[in-house]
Amino acid sequence: MEIRHFRGIRELAWCPSSGINCLIGPGDSGKSSILDAIDLCLGARRNLQFTDADFYQLDVATPIVISVTIGELDDSLKNFEAYGMYVRGFDPLSGTIEDEPEKDAETVLTVRLTVASDLEPTWKLVSERAEAQGLERSLSWGDRVRLAPTRIGVMADYHLGWRRGSVLNRVSEQRADASAALAKAARDARAAFGNEVQGQLDETLRIVATTAKELGIPIGENIKAMLDAHSVSFGGGTISLHDEEGIPLRGMGTGSTRLLIAGLQRKAAAHSRTILIDELEHGLEPHRIIRLLGSLGAKETPPPLQVFMTTHSPVALQELTGSQLFVTRPSAGKHDVLAVGAADDIQSTIRLYPDAFLALSVIVCEGASEVGLVRGLDQYRTANGHRAIFARGTTLVDCGGGEADRPFKRAAALRALGYRVAVVRDDDQKPTEGVEAALVADGGDVFTWRNGRTLEDELFSSLSEAAVIKLIDRAVELHGNELINDHIRSASKNSKDLNAIQVEQLIDGITMESRLILGKAARTRKAGWFKSVTWMEEVARDIVGPDLANTEAGFRALLEAIFTWAGNASE
């Protein structure tokens, strides 16, 4: 598909996958516009209204052009008499389209929608051969109806009519007093309609009942086709689905409606295999999001449907693979749609930290201690008038310690997808030469504790003496005197213990030698004093934050730099 000059998209070219295409990215990155473009180009609606606001930057002098190439054509669309001059060839490996279909290429058709300054849309099939001969045509209406994607929206248009509970009924006391007469006429028609139509719709009713049962939607097995009492006209559209109690199914919740429509679309895949869903999670609990994705074939090979969706749900990201996720990015006057990919570092990050892919900026932390430190300091700062970094679009990823290169691998993978990325790491183990420089050269940032120190070393070396005493007291509170004493003895090779340091503090103050011993003791392997997100979060909020004014200037400047970077996420 290609989009030019449509809403916030100046230019976009994308070859989507044949199954799930889940678009993610920050707000105003064009996700919904991509779905709208597909719907406008391929949808079967006779009357479409465009406005100047649909043009990129309101520039009506440059037309909107949306081109969608469709494959897996049935025989009627390959009919030479109808479309022979318009069939083209597609190479799925290179993603290229040739106007002359080659022997081994897939036969495709390209539909193009153009909207000029007169706001009148025109559709036509794309073909250099036909254009050279002065020929022009579009898909027949019957073929458009068969190919049209199914759109599952948020149902916001409910509030654009004088329906019960709509916003138009709240803006004034005026009412069109025809509803009672129409309702009575509809009830009379229902009584006459009776059960005569049931035999004509048995198969459809059976499919709906079966699908609802498979998806766990309680509408009963004996559903009926009856006239809707709230319909205004008496035509084919007057017939609607009702449950076994005679209640219209349109009264179901938004989530149930969307789930049922998706299930029915799966049943109708033989006729139309394309489905569009904006804000997948709308109206659905986590377990039903999983159910919906399963119904759409997220776990199936080959995929039964081609689905274009948007989401801000971490649950949805965890259920999908990196090959089903696509990040939308505006850059240099055009839009890119980047496949997240299925590399191990990416896939594990999706599983553990899906919210990272829904943020503007990501701080990749070497371990849980760094995550807790940033979270706790953010809570302290927020309580003192600063704006939370999460409100600015920054999130945190925990690399779980381990090899020194791991944070850079995850950061590089996120950076390749256009995310703003920084790494916060210890300095006791150095990454492989060139790894850190490569991230910085690619636009990433790195914050490193100083002079070969870990975070614990920095805390015990840089905080005021009063704060260091509070750190010791917190460690004793968490782990007990005996364990803390053993760790200090081990770190000092039995030259000092907990009591000696406490006495030292009372007489002459804690020496730098003792501070270094405490830092080493606090990071005892597999038994660190604050080696969890929660422990370090509380330490940062209750001890480090309140002590910042008294903290050694170099360490304070490093912490301020991290929050300055995080605070610039939305800029």
28-52 pLDDT, tens digit per residue, is 889 999 999 999 999 888 788 999 9
How far apart (Å, rounded) are the C-alpha atoms in residues 9 and 328?
A: 11
Which position has the higher pLDDT, 571 or 450? 450
Contacts of 86 (CB under 8 A, 6+ apart): 109, 110, 125, 126, 127, 130, 137
DSSP calls for 430-499: PPPTTHHHHHHHTT-EEEE-STT--HHHHHHHHS-HHHHHHHHHHHHHHH-HHHHHHHHHHHTTTS--HH
Q: Tell whether omega for the bond before 302 is within 30 degrees of 0, i.e. cis.
A: yes
Question: pLDDT band for position 245 (50/70/90)?
Answer: confident
Q: Is the confidence at residue 117, as pLDDT, over 50?
A: yes
How far apart (Å, rounded) are the C-alpha atoms in residues 7 and 15?
A: 20
How far apart (Å, rounded) are the C-alpha atoms in residues 96 and 569?
A: 37
Question: pLDDT band for position 214 (50/70/90)?
Answer: confident
Question: pLDDT band for position 150 (50/70/90)?
Answer: confident
Contacts of 33 (CB under 8 A, 6+ apart): 3, 6, 7, 8, 9
Angle (nearest 5°) at CA 318 between 313 and 319: 100
How far apart (Å, rounded) are the C-alpha atoms in residues 316 and 326?
A: 13
Question: pLDDT band for position 192 (50/70/90)?
Answer: low
Burial class (CB in 10 A: 0-12, 13-18, 19+), 415: buried
Q: Are 471 and 459 in contact (CB under 8 A)?
A: yes
How far apart (Å, rounded) are the C-alpha atoms in residues 357 and 350?
A: 7
Question: pLDDT band for position 432 (50/70/90)?
Answer: very high
Mean pLDDT of 504-526: 94
How far apart (Å, rounded) are the C-alpha atoms in residues 265 and 295?
A: 9
- The pLDDT of residue 271: 57
Q: Strand pairing partners for 90? A: 97, 106
Q: What are phi and psi of 89, to 5 degrees?
A: -115, 135
Q: How many CB atoms lie within 10 A of CB 240?
A: 16
Q: Are 279 and 310 in contact (CB under 8 A)?
A: yes
Going by C-alpha positions, the residue among 339, 357, 266 that lies closest to residue 307 is: 266
Encoded tokens for 368: 């849980």
pTM attached to this predicted model: 0.81
How far apart, in Å, do the first and last CA atoms of the chain sit?
30
Which position has the higher pLDDT, 328 or 239? 328
How far apart (Å, rounded) are the C-alpha atoms in residues 88 and 218?
A: 47
Mean pLDDT of 264-291: 80
Contacts of 507 (CB under 8 A, 6+ apart): none
